[in-house]
């Protein structure tokens, strides 16, 4: 098959282009933050990071999902420490104790301006849009973001299959890996290894491709998907499981890869350990491959690919989207403009 690479070597090494990607892709995308099980009941909340911003996700007392920027209006500290979870009607800053209700309204604290209600209004937490894809939670930071239903239509249908048991999964562990490589190589490597479904519709495979040991058996438990731009979901054979790989671009040549592992509650401890050990090895091998590709890019020797057409389609589609977004060819609507 003829090479149809859209991006050039310099597109993976340019700091200027990386700055543009931050502005035009990352700030206008939906970002995975966790699983609904982490906020199953009113008052439950957790602190995490999305798009390099500290975030709190909470279940309000009326059961609605909420997300806020995790920055205290007093001295700018994080309110809930990153990685911490809790259950409370209030979000209380760990530093001096200012507190907010779960609707983000400021409620008081030591030396706070409670005598001036109009000022208290200005101290409300910055709210973020929050959505669910199956049991997975996403937040967005801007108002002119891609419409959620449009971008998740195909994937939402697939993940609704009760055989997958995604809602019964429990979060087990997050492992974070550092790769000395551009974020786009990480995504492309994932697609090259496993054909993916990508939004939007142009040139996308019709449905996800079964992959792995159970491919011939059409095992519904085996699935790999990618949601633009950097949410990677993998379901493997065996007990019900899911691993979410989230790419966090740090610079044009450095990327963090967060791997969240989910397992069914009744999965044996041994199975979980073997599975995560295997995934760890795969991840480390992948990072070696990606870092070697980045080194070649530095010498303008763009690595070639000899993958199957279906897999190439995913990569070409991804690269075309990158190009389109950088050129500002997508509005906040699905259509190209
Ligand atoms: S920094 Fe949060 S209460 Fe002071």
- Which domains occur in the chain, in start order? 9-28+146-326 (3.90.380.10), 36-129 (2.102.10.10)
CA 51 to chain centre: 9
Residues 6 or more apart in contact with residue 146 via CB below 8 angstroms = 28, 29, 30, 228, 330, 332, 334
Atom of ligand 1 nearest to the CA of 109: 3
Atom of ligand 1 nearest to the CA of 73: 2
Pick left, alpha or beta for residue 108 (phi over 0 → left; psi -120 to 50 → alpha; otherwise beta): left
Q: State the pLDDT at residue 300.
A: 64
Measured from the CB, is residue 93 less than 6 Å from ligand 1? yes
Measured from the CB, is residue 153 less than 6 Å from ligand 1? no
Measured from the CB, is residue 96 less than 6 Å from ligand 1? yes
Atom of ligand 1 nearest to the CA of 79: 2
Tokens of 189: 């490597």
Going by C-alpha positions, the residue among 294, 184, 281, 189 that lies closest to residue 230 is 184
Rounded to an integer, what distance in angstroms lies between the CA atom of residue 304 and that of residue 32? Answer: 31
Measured from the CB, is residue 77 less than 6 Å from ligand 1? yes
Residue 202 banded pLDDT, cuts 50, 70, 90: very low
Measured from the CB, is residue 277 less than 6 Å from ligand 1? no
Measured from the CB, is residue 73 less than 6 Å from ligand 1? no
The answer to whether 42 touches 63, Cβ cutoff 8 Å, is yes
Atom of ligand 1 nearest to the CA of 75: 1
Tell me the mean pLDDT in the region 284-299. 90
Residue 211 banded pLDDT, cuts 50, 70, 90: very low
Measured from the CB, is residue 95 less than 6 Å from ligand 1? yes
Beta strands across the sheet bearing 90-92: 90-92, 99-101, 106-108
Residue 122 banded pLDDT, cuts 50, 70, 90: confident
Rounded to an integer, what distance in angstroms lies between the CA atom of residue 56 and that of residue 46? Answer: 6
Tokens of 312: 């190439």
Q: What is the pTM of this model?
A: 0.84
Question: Whose CA is closest to atom 1 on ligand 1?
Answer: 75
Query: Which sign does the torsion angle of CA 281, 287, 290, 295 carry?
Result: negative
Atom of ligand 1 nearest to the CA of 94: 2
Residues 6 or more apart in contact with residue 299 via CB below 8 angstroms = none
Q: State the pLDDT at residue 311.
A: 58
Reported as a single tens digit per residue, the pLDDT across 257-270 is 999 999 988 888 88
Q: State the pLDDT at residue 199.
A: 37
Lowest-confidence region among 35-44, 127-136, 288-297, 298-307 = 298-307
Query: Which sign does the torsion angle of CA 271, 277, 281, 283 carry?
Result: positive
Reported as a single tens digit per residue, the pLDDT across 182-201 is 999 999 888 776 543 333 33
Measured from the CB, is residue 245 less than 6 Å from ligand 1? no
The answer to whether 29 touches 229, Cβ cutoff 8 Å, is yes
Measured from the CB, is residue 136 less than 6 Å from ligand 1? no
Q: State the pLDDT at residue 31.
A: 94
**Using the 8-state DSSP alphabet, how is residue 330 labeled?**
B
- Going by DSSP bridges, is the β-strand pair 241-251/254-264 parallel, antiparallel, or unpaired? antiparallel
Extract the runs of DSSP E, i.e. beta strands, from the chain.
31-35, 44-50, 53-59, 65-69, 85-87, 90-92, 99-101, 106-108, 129-133, 136-140, 169-179, 223-227, 231-235, 241-251, 254-264
Going by C-alpha positions, the residue among 186, 166, 145, 281 that lies closest to residue 235 is 166
Residue 112 banded pLDDT, cuts 50, 70, 90: confident
- Give ∠ CA 51-57-60 in degrees, rounded to 5: 155
The answer to whether 256 touches 287, Cβ cutoff 8 Å, is no
Going by C-alpha positions, the residue among 221, 222, 76, 231 that lies closest to residue 151 is 231
Residue 114 banded pLDDT, cuts 50, 70, 90: low
The answer to whether 209 touches 198, Cβ cutoff 8 Å, is no
Question: To the nearest whole number, what is the mean pLDDT of the chain?
Answer: 82
């Amino acid at each position: 098959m003829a090479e149809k690479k859209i991006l050039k070597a310099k597109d993976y090494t340019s700091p200027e282009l990386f700055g543009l990607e931050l502005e035009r892709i990352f700030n206008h995308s939906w970002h995975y933050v966790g699983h609904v099980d982490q906020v199953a009941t009113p008052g439950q909340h957790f602190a995490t990071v999305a798009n390099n911003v500290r975030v709190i996700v909470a279940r309000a007392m009326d059961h609605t999902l909420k997300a806020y920027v995790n920055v205290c209006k007093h001295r700018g500290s994080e309110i809930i420490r990153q990685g911490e979870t809790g259950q409370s009607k209030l979000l209380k800053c760990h530093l001096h104790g200012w507190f907010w209700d779960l609707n983000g309204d400021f409620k008081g604290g030591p030396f706070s301006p409670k005598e001036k209600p109009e000022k208290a209004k200005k101290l409300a937490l910055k709210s973020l849009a929050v959505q669910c894809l199956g049991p997975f939670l996403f937040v967005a930071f801007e108002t002119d973001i891609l419409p959620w239903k449009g971008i998740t239509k195909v994937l939402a249908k697939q993940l609704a299959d009760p055989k997958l048991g995604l809602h019964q999964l429990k979060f087990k562990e997050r492992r974070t890996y550092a790769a000395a490589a551009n974020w786009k190589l990480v995504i492309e490597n994932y697609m090259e290894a496993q054909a993916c479904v990508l939004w939007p519709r142009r040139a996308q495979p019709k449905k996800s491709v079964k992959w792995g040991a159970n491919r011939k058996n059409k095992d519904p438990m085996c699935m790999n998907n990618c949601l633009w731009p950097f949410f990677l979901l993998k379901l493997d054979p065996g007990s019900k499981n899911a691993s979410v790989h989230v790419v966090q671009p740090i610079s044009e040549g450095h990327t963090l890869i967060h791997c969240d592992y989910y397992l069914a509650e009744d999965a044996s401890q041994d199975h979980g350990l073997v599975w995560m050990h295997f995934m760890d090895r795969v991840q480390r091998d992948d990072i070696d491959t990606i870092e070697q590709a980045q080194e070649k890019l530095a010498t303008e020797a763009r690595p070639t690919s000899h993958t199957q057409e279906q897999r190439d389609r995913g990569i070409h589609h991804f690269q075309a989207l990158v190009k389109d977004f950088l050129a500002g060819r997508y509005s906040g609507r699905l259509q190209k403009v």
